[in-house]
Amino acid sequence: MLNLTKKSPAASLLDMMLALIVFLSCLGLIGTWVEKGHTAQQQKLASEHLMRVNEAASEYVKLHYVELYDTSTKTTGPQISIQNLIDEELLPYGFQERNVWKQDYEIHVRQMKENELQAIVLTTSNNNYDAKFLVTLLLRLLLLLGSTTSCLFLLSKISYFLEPEVTIF
């Protein structure tokens, strides 16, 4: 008579392999969720940082209206630095001059209408992507598409344009 309560070793191995496949497929999904959460957190931090700079710049314009008004037009005007806002105690001591994406701020004062000043806050980025970054990005995209031969072909063609000190991997 067959004993149905005890599993065979092959069935246990098959169950373990199936559980491993399910676990590995869930890892990709969990990784995507973590990445989206990280991006959302960075967006929130950057927007809160920009909001604080905007509020401080507006307050600075109100405090220094007369002196800013005399030097402002529609197209030219003074520039306010983050350090000016910190010195006036409109931002706390130690406030970072760059946001989470390492973007700097430019604060321009303009007189858009008669007797009305505006503080215009711009973010600027110093990201200069080098050849290594671009090649790595292209290779990863091709690998995601499943084209290993295209990666090798692209690598052989691009290596001609790269500077000698640039290494790909």
Q: What is the pLDDT of residue 15?
A: 80
Is the torsion defined by CA of 14, 18, 24, 30 positive or negative? negative
Return the structure tokens found at 115. 């007797």
Query: pLDDT by residue for the chain (169 residues), tens digit each?
Result: 555 566 677 667 888 888 888 877 777 777 778 788 888 888 888 889 999 999 999 999 999 999 999 899 888 899 999 999 999 999 999 999 988 888 889 999 999 888 889 898 988 876 655 555 566 666 666 665 555 555 555 555 555 444 444 444 3
Residue 115: left (phi > 0), alpha (psi -120 to 50), or beta? left
Residue ranges per structural domain of the chain:
54-125, 129-169
Q: What is the pLDDT of residues 137-147, one digit of tens each?
A: 666 666 655 55
